[in-house]
Amino acid sequence: MDTGAALALGDDALVLSHRLAEWAGHAPVLEEEVALANIALDLLGQARILLSMAGDEDELAYLREERAFRNLQLVEQPNGDFAHTIARQLLFSTYQRFLYEALAGDPVFGPLAVKAVKEVAYHQDHAEQWTLRLGDGTEESQGRMQRGLDALWRFTGEMFRPVEGLALNWQKLEERWLASVTAVIERATLRVPGGPRTGAWAAGAGREGLHTESFGRMLAEMQHLHRSHPGASW
């Protein structure tokens, strides 16, 4: 089996899981902290299965260098404020949900996709509920939500570049994603960002191992314990 696809999907889940876990102890309210941690743990579970398909999960998570990670640049973006995190989650969970739905019949990823799609549907719902409330909320919350979407929009084109090993209609996936995200953004009385999603001014080469500035620091934090104490256990 070609491990490239398992690595790409596994790294998406792992990296976003870690970003969400960074909210622990910092979320605006306790209830929301638990919600974000739950999403992080769902993603970590998916990452473990996917990375195990590609090799040794610990080795892959803790001992790879930055350039060997295949995750989308979107998921490695720093949390920013709560609205920024919600924007990232809306854009990614909508993608991941439709991706897993499309993979339901896949001989390799089907079993995982069928199980994980229920988790992801909840992640998407959580992000949608918050997008609606922040967007159609106060002037302050609307501004923050809009800035989050605007800042992350240029990372969304990368999601639909074909991944080797995944037999999918990527164009259809993108159309579904855009229609769904647009509907939520408009219901939330926000603007669909006007910036480019593809081409020279867009971002996104994470699948080729090129990552953005903050990713190195995130990895250092994620990997340092395992690298300092190899093989340590509780």
Partner 1 sequence: MSGDWPLWEVFVRSRRGLSHTHAGSLHAPDAELALRNARDLYTRRSEGVSIWVVPSTAITASSPDEKDPFFEPAADKPYRHPTFYEIPDGVKHL
Positions that interact with partner 1 (CB under 8 A): 28-32, 34-35, 38, 122, 125-126, 129, 133
The nearer residue to partner 1, 32 or 57, going by C-beta atoms, is 32
Secondary structure of residue 142 in the 3-state scheme? helix
The nearer residue to partner 1, 82 or 153, going by C-beta atoms, is 82
Distance set, CA 192 to CA 54, 125, 160, 171, 199 (Å): 37, 19, 18, 19, 18
The nearer residue to partner 1, 41 or 210, going by C-beta atoms, is 41
Q: Whole-number minimum distance, CB 130 to partner 1, in Å?
A: 8
Report how far residue 20's alpha carbon sits from residue 75's, in angstroms, rounded to the nearest whole number: 10
The nearer residue to partner 1, 122 or 170, going by C-beta atoms, is 122
Q: Whole-number minimum distance, CB 120 to partner 1, in Å?
A: 15
Contact 231, 93 (CB under 8 A): no
- φ and ψ at residue 161, rounded to 5 degrees: -80, 125
> Residue 83, Cα to own-chain centre: how many angstroms?
15
Q: Whole-number minimum distance, CB 144 to partner 1, in Å?
A: 14
Q: Whole-number minimum distance, CB 112 to partner 1, in Å?
A: 20
